[in-house]
């Protein structure tokens, strides 16, 4: 019985370890999505800005220091948002082009 349990555990382990090699190799990892990375960076900028704003409200950061730093965050967030939208537009256009080509191939075929 213990041996049988061991064999079952070993087989499950082997299957789990081998599984990534059996999957389609061109499967895209969501981690590789540049939009996700840009969104993460934008989130970090928002957090920085929120902390800075709160510190300023409490009087810990004087106006003379707050304004330029806040403006830097604001511009950076806008740039990241613009990049994100460009990437999304590009992805959308690519999808449309692929669809168009498929339609053409379908028509010609």
Contact residues toward other proteins (CB under 8 A) are 1-3, 5-6, 9-10, 13, 16-21, 23, 25, 29, 31, 36-37, 39-40, 42-43, 46-47, 49-51, 53-55, 57-61, 65, 70, 73-75, 77-78, 81-82
Closer of 74 and 102 to other proteins (Cβ): 74
Separation between Cα atoms, residue 109 and residue 92, nearest integer Å: 25
Minimum distance, C-beta of residue 20 to other proteins, in the bound complex (Å): 4
Closer of 53 and 87 to other proteins (Cβ): 53
Minimum distance, C-beta of residue 98 to other proteins, in the bound complex (Å): 24
Q: Please, are residues 52 and 35 in contact by the beta-carbon 8 Å criterion?
A: no
* CA angle 56–59–61, rounded 5-degree value: 50
Q: Please, are residues 77 and 49 in contact by the beta-carbon 8 Å criterion?
A: yes
Q: Please, are residues 55 and 61 in contact by the beta-carbon 8 Å criterion?
A: yes
């Amino acid at each position: 019985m213990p041996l049988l349990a061991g064999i079952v555990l070993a087989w499950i382990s082997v299957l789990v370890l081998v599984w990534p090699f059996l999957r389609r190799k061109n499967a895209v990892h969501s981690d590789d999505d540049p939009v996700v990375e840009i969104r993460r960076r934008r989130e970090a900028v928002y957090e920085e800005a929120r902390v800075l704003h709160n510190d300023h409200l409490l009087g810990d950061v004087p106006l003379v220091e707050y304004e330029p730093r806040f403006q830097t965050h604001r511009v950076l967030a806008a740039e990241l948002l613009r990049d994100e939208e460009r990437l999304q537009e590009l992805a959308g256009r690519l999808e449309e082009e692929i669809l168009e080509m498929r339609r053409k191939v379908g028509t010609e075929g």
